[in-house]
Amino acid sequence: MTDKTIHSSPSNLDILHEDNHLIVVNKRSGDIVQGDKTGDVPLSEVVKQSLKEKYNKPGNVYLGVVHRLDRPTSGIVLFAKTSKALPRLNKLFAEGKTKKAYWAVVKKAPENESGVLTHWLVRNPKQNKSYAYKKEIANSKKAILEYRVLKKLNSYFLLEIDLKTGRHHQIRAQLATMGCFIKGDLKYGADRSNKDGGIHLHARSLEFEHPVKKESIKFVAKPPDDPVWNACL
């Protein structure tokens, strides 16, 4: 990460929605969702601190991490504010009952305007990388996504991705198999990094049934403010 990375803090948190049971945040690239060995302050703690300050809460604030986004990815992250909502939201994600759309900016257009990619992914924890195979092999997990070209930019193409399974680095690994490297994603084949250390992959929308109200809700997150993303809007 370079010094140009602006992380989320309680004062600049981009909250898309909040009610008694959940809070939806537009994550900046560079934010880590949950604590890891880097020791950097995770987004979950930033959200907790924000809630603590907002409601003048003494003691600990409850916040459940429902899902994660890769550190260099931006976009929608959902957290549970109650112990009642967390297992219900976990179940929705585990059973694939959420609708997730991502935007990816790639240098090369795929051969087809739209299509479905099916691979078997193997995660390498040491490298923090996933490898995609066309056939099932030992320790692999099936990964499926649907893509379509949304827009042609000057030097890039905007893809919309409908994620059918949620695997480690799934979109990054699967698009790389087509030679459609995501802008800034050195780990998966891009020729150079972005200045802020992020990549042009954005969790654009999330739709699911509210865990308590039982009504369908959908959230859309604006991508980061930069010339390439702005050209996508």
For residue 219, the cross-strand partners are 206
Write the Ramachandran bin of 189: left for phi over 0, alpha for psi from -120 to 50, otherwise beta: left
By three-state DSSP, how is residue 10 classified? Answer: coil
Tokens of 210: 């509210």
Within 30-184, residue ranges assigned H as helices are 43-54, 85-94, 170-177
Token pair 């859309």 is at which residue?
220
**Side chain identity at residue 104, one-letter code:** A
Q: What is the C-alpha to C-alpha distance for residues 52 and 55, in angstroms, rounded to an integer?
A: 6
Q: What is the C-alpha to C-alpha distance for residues 43 and 213, in angstroms, rounded to an integer?
A: 26
Catalytic residue ranges: 70
By three-state DSSP, how is residue 157 classified? Answer: strand
Q: What is the C-alpha to C-alpha distance for residues 21 and 181, in angstroms, rounded to an integer?
A: 37
Q: What is the C-alpha to C-alpha distance for residues 107 and 155, in angstroms, rounded to an integer?
A: 7
**Alpha-carbon distances, residue 192 vs 101, 182, 199 (angstroms):** 25, 10, 10
Q: How far is CA 170 from the centre of its chain?
A: 11
